[in-house]
Amino acid sequence: MFYSPGILRSRAFCLPVFNSSDYNKLLYQRSIKKSGYICTPMLNKLQKFIYDKMKDYANAIVNYGVSPGMPFIEVRRTKLLNLLALPCIPFMFFFAVLNVIQGRYLLSFMNLITTFGSVMLLFLHHRRRYLWARLVLIVCSSCAFAFTGFFYHNGAEYFLFNMMIIVALVYDNKWVILISSLILISAFLGIVYFPQSIPGISPVPEERVWLNAGTALIFPMVGLTFFKYIQEDYQREIEAQQQSLQNMNKDKEKLFSIVAHDVRSPLATLEVLLDMFLKGEYPEKDMKEAAEVLHEKVSQLGGSLDNILRWSSRSMKGIQSLPESFPLLPLMTEVLYFFRLNILQKNITVDMKVPEAQTLYADRDQVSVILRNFLSNALKFSYAGGRVTIETRVEEDKLAITIQDEGTGMTPKQVADLFSYNQHPEYGTNGERGTGLGLVLCREFAQQNSGSIMVDSLPGKGTSLTILLPAFGPYDEDDELFN
């Protein structure tokens, strides 16, 4: 390749010149930079590990003695006292050792009494003696602060106000708060206006007096901040309970919808048969058959009530899905048997195309509710002598169950409002009327079971309702691969 002399000169001029010391310096800088790239993530992980451990230990100490069954406000009071005792123990023990070194043995003993009160607080919290824990802490600390304030003038009298705040926070009895406050205020005024001294005892340094006074003045801010936190936390707890109550009310409405659907159908049949008995429309020879029908419907009603009770017991903490693998054909047969008289009354032909080996992975009770609602709508809006088709097909890992009728059908607007609480229930071809909530419940049950519902309908042509549900459980596919 050809370069002109000017270009060669410019290139030669731009090339940096290194001596050996510069080169070694550059290598050292690069090695430091490379080691920094390696060490920085390790240091970050180490810092995070230390921070998480310290946080875990702090939470363990603050929650020391808190039991699951405690009332909300008692939990907060226990945490507050643990939070106060945690720094008090090393702080007072340090001054106990310092006062021994400086020859103030009585003051050191008082510091040990305060330390003992904080240690006993944690011990009694562990033993779940919460009232005794508060009493020991308040009595020990108050006596030690009053004594040292009287005779050593070390600023400990300001801690008496802190004890008064603690009494107001941890007790509900107004007389306990009033009497304790009067005693503590009297002790404070006695220390300020009638100070005492013990001969031969050297006073504490002025710096320690300022330290005690400053620490005591900081505490009210800590106490008020914690009290504010308690109030905000309590408000969040109330809001969470209100939300839980709203969810329970919604679940109650869903259960009422199930009751209305499952109980109304057998009762309607019983009403028709009894009306025919009263009018004498049943001949003598058909009485036995009618009695069998009545017995059958009462048995269905009892089964429905059993299902409702089971649902209610499962739904005390909200309606939840309990998926399991089960064959579809027996469930579909139960649903058809449930509507046997409705099918006979309208002379409807049911064409069921469900393979015997077909399985589902879902909550069986919820799928039963969905299928009963689908079939009830198909029968309700079918004309006498019509046809209802039930068929299944596999779509990847889902099973599609379709119930199609040749009845009145729906307009696009009716289809759009089908899963809304604002829908207006329509009358069936024989004047049957529903609650309008069945399909809303079906959609929610389908979603809880990782499924979906599709609707295809034309006015005068009929309606097709399809539900997609998992065909296999989380381990069923692996089992099939290894079998």
Comparing C-alpha atoms, which of 295, 306, 381, 366 is closest to residue 335? Answer: 366
Query: What per-residue confidence (pLDDT) applies to 18?
Result: 43
Comparing C-alpha atoms, which of 261, 457, 250, 256 is closest to residue 373? Answer: 261
Q: pLDDT tens digit string along 327-365? A: 999 999 988 887 887 788 888 999 999 988 888 999 988
Query: What per-residue confidence (pLDDT) applies to 17?
Result: 45
Query: What per-residue confidence (pLDDT) applies to 136?
Result: 92
Rounded Cα–Cα distance for residues 106 and 113 (Å): 11
- Cα torsion 292, 296, 297, 302 to 10°: value is 140
Rounded to the nearest integer, the mean pLDDT of the chain is: 77
Query: What per-residue confidence (pLDDT) applies to 213?
Result: 83
Q: Which helix (H) or strand (E) holds 403?
A: strand 398-405
Rounded Cα–Cα distance for residues 271 and 265 (Å): 10
The answer to whether 340 touches 292, Cβ cutoff 8 Å, is: no
Query: What per-residue confidence (pLDDT) applies to 479?
Result: 46
Question: Who's near 278: CB < 8 A, 6+ residues apart?
Answer: none
- pTM of the prediction? 0.46
Q: pLDDT tens digit string along 223-272? A: 677 667 766 777 777 787 787 777 767 666 666 665 665 566 667 667 77
Question: Who's near 183: CB < 8 A, 6+ residues apart?
Answer: 142
Query: What per-residue confidence (pLDDT) applies to 430?
Result: 77
3-class secondary-structure state, position 321? coil
Largest CA distance in the chain: 128
Query: What per-residue confidence (pLDDT) applies to 1?
Result: 41
Question: Who's near 82: CB < 8 A, 6+ residues apart?
Answer: 61, 62, 63, 64, 65, 121, 122, 125
Q: What are the φ/ψ torsions at residue 126 (nearest 5 degrees)?
A: -65, -35
Helix axes 206-279, 72-101, angle to 10 degrees: 160
Query: What per-residue confidence (pLDDT) applies to 8?
Result: 37
Query: What per-residue confidence (pLDDT) applies to 309?
Result: 54
Question: Who's near 402: CB < 8 A, 6+ residues apart?
Answer: 389, 390, 391, 392, 393, 464, 465, 466
Rounded Cα–Cα distance for residues 321 and 316 (Å): 13
Low pLDDT (below 70) residues in the chain: 1-41, 223, 226-227, 230-231, 248, 250-266, 268-269, 273, 281-320, 421-425, 432-438, 473-483
The answer to whether 365 touches 311, Cβ cutoff 8 Å, is: yes
Q: pLDDT tens digit string along 380-399? A: 889 988 999 999 999 888 99
